[in-house]
């Protein structure tokens, strides 16, 4: 169980990502997100053993929140609702 995240729908996450990163490729990011989500569903874990953070993994590869951000716990960070 992942705690501390704010749930967001996949479509909304893509919109938000494009607002923050206008040069991002919508198709690419959506594909990466879906790949990360399906990896999460298959039980893929971070190298440290924690469940992967789907949104971060879409950009950084399949890793958990802490390994991607260096922060211990999410604070107003988003995660796909289907992965919570
Ligand atoms: Zn990790």
pTM score of the predicted model: 0.94
pLDDT of residue 58: 98
Q: In the chain, where are the structural domains located?
A: 6-83
If you measure from the C-alpha of residue 70 to the centroid of ligand 1, how many angstroms do you get, rounded to a whole number? 9
Give tens-digit pLDDT for 1-38: 577 999 999 999 999 999 999 999 999 999 999 999 99
Ligand 1 centroid–CA 66 distance in Å is 6
Q: What is the mean pLDDT of the chain?
A: 96
Task: Please give the distance, rounded to the nearest whole angstrom, from the Cα atom of residue 1 to the centre of ligand 1.
Answer: 14
Calculate mean pLDDT across residues 26-53. Answer: 98
Q: What is the Å distance from ligand 1's center to 52 Cα?
A: 7
With beta carbons less than 8 A apart as the criterion, state whether 36 and 57 touch.
Answer: yes
Residues near 47 by Cβ (< 8 Å), separated by ≥ 6?
63, 67
């Amino acid at each position: 169980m992942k705690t501390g995240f704010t749930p967001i729908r996949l479509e909304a996450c893509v919109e938000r990502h494009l607002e923050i990163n206008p040069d991002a490729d919508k198709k690419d990011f959506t594909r990466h997100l879906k790949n990360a989500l399906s990896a999460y569903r298959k039980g893929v874990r971070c190298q440290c053993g924690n469940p992967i953070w789907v949104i971060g993994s879409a950009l950084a590869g399949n890793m958990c929140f802490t390994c991607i951000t260096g922060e211990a716990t999410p604070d107003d960070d988003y995660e796909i609702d289907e992965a919570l």
